[in-house]
Amino acid sequence: MPNIKSAMKRVKVTETKNLRNRIVKSKVKTAIKKFETEANAAQYSLTTSAIDKAVAKGILHKNAANRKKARLAKMVNA
């Protein structure tokens, strides 16, 4: 545990942000898994929406998100 007050605050803030990021990543992974089982247009829309929200919050990189969405689109079209 740090001794400096600002370092203590950074530890708390980092833990909070880490928790929020993990929640969003988990939602994206869950949406992708749900899509893989159903693979229809409605589920595709929900999954891409979850991915876009993660990008907007800065949790996923935009290129990684585009790659994921492209792979999902391939599955829908196949």
pTM for this prediction = 0.84
pLDDT single digits (tens) 6-44: 999 999 999 999 999 999 999 999 999 999 998 888 999
How does 10-26 read in b/e, with b if 16+ C-beta sit within 10 Å? eeeeeeeeeeeeeebee
For 33, 44, 77, the CA distances from 59, given in Å and listed in that order, are: 19, 20, 28
Cβ neighbours, 10 Å, residue 59:
19
| 69 half-sphere exposure, CB direction, 13 A CA radius | 18
